[in-house]
Structure 1
């Protein structure tokens, strides 16, 4: 299975991913808690680059193209900053073969 992805560019791989975003985000970010964070680990760890620091010290998050990997939740060292749950049934990321 891994061999079929070996020669694909990042863009080609991403074209095989569907995001069925729910109106209700499966991740909530408490920007007030984020203001006291000095590491911003979620910004650098998110493989989809969905966390963006704001000028006022908060974090802007876009859930629509989330891979649901949970990395942000695992690396965050600020209690209560990130709340993560699985998307509602029928929503979320879908990987296609071809």
Structure 2
């Protein structure tokens, strides 16, 4: 049996993007003041967060794998995160 790579296994997952609303919001002031912005950019395995030239943190919520790593390191109030609305987000597949 051929072993599959991590990218091949991740590609089996299904993503349903909520085009109407993001389930992630960054408080730019708190993120900048506490260093949370740089921390969540560094820790996110899906590369959902990016630091822009002006220092703000952009969010590509459609790529979120809902692992919670960002919540574990974010300063209180810097990040508002909830699961996507019903039927949206990632649907993990065995593999």
Q: Tell me the TM-score normalised to structure 2 length.
A: 0.83
1:25 aligned residue: 22
Deviation digits for residues 61-98 of structure 1 (CA, Å, limit 9, x no counterpart) = 11001011111111112x32110111111111011236
Gaps of 5+ in 1: none
Find the aligned partners of 1:70 and 1:19 in 2 and give their Cα distance: 17
In structure 2, the residue corresponding to 1:35 is in which secondary structure? helix
Over aligned residues, Cα RMSD in angstroms?
Answer: 2.0
1:70 aligned residue: 68
Q: Tell me the TM-score normalised to structure 1 length.
A: 0.81
Gaps of 5+ in 2: none
2:91 aligned residue: 94
